[in-house]
Amino acid sequence: MTVQRLQLSWYNKEKALIPTEAGKYGYTWVNPSDPRYCETHTLVMGDYVQGTQTLKLDEFEYSKCADLEPQDDNLLILGESGDVLESLTRVPELAENYVGKVKLIYIDPPFNTAQTFASYEDNLEHSIWLTMMRDRLLRMKKLLAD
C-alpha cells in the first residue's frame, strides 16, 4: 500500500513576507534571501513585571515592576509575535537562552475571519495568512524543547 502525504499549497508559498514599507498595514512578498527579510528586529527589554495569584482563581495582581532579573522561568512578552519569535531565535544572546529550551509558547494570531476590528484588520488573503502562520510555526519549533 502506498502512503500518500498531504501537502498544503498556496500562492507564493516559496516566498517570504515582510511588512509593507512606509508604515502601512500590509505585507510584501520577497525572496527568502532578501536582506529586508533576513534582518533581525531586536526586542527592547522593558521592566519585568511580577504578580501574585489572588484568592479568586481568575484574578492576578501585578506589582508595578520587579527587578530586571526574572525570579523564575516564566516569561511573558507582549508584542508582534513574528518579531518576538524572530528575536528569540536569531539574536545570539537570546538564542542561547531559549532555542530548544521553551516548554510552552502562546501566540494570538489573527484568525482570518474576514472581519475588521478596532485594533486590527482580520481580513488577510489566505496565502498571506498561511505564510505568516508557517513562519511563526517554524520559529516556534526551533524554540520548543523536545
Cell numbers standing for residue 8: 498544503
Q: Do 40 and 56 meet the contact criterion of CB atoms below 8 Å apart?
A: no
Cell numbers standing for residue 120: 486590527
Q: Do 139 and 25 meet the contact criterion of CB atoms below 8 Å apart?
A: no
> From the CB of residue 84, how many other CB atoms can be counted at a distance below 10 Å?
19
- Residue with grid cell 510552552, as numbered in its chain: 104
Full pLDDT tens readout for the chain, 146 residues: 777 887 778 888 888 887 776 655 567 888 988 888 777 666 665 555 555 555 665 555 555 554 445 556 677 777 778 888 888 888 888 888 889 999 999 888 777 777 766 666 667 778 888 888 899 999 999 999 98
Write down the pLDDT at residue 99: 94
What b/e sequence results for 1-33 when a residue is b if at least 16 CB atoms lie within 10 Å of its CB, and e otherwise? eeeeeeeeeeeeeebbbbbeeeeeeebebbeee
Write down the pLDDT at residue 119: 62
119 contacts: CB under 8 Å, gap ≥ 6: none
Write down the pLDDT at residue 137: 94
| Type of residue found at 25 | Y
**Integer Cα distance of 42 and 60 in angstroms:** 29
Domain ranges within the chain, ordered by starting residue: 10-42+76-145
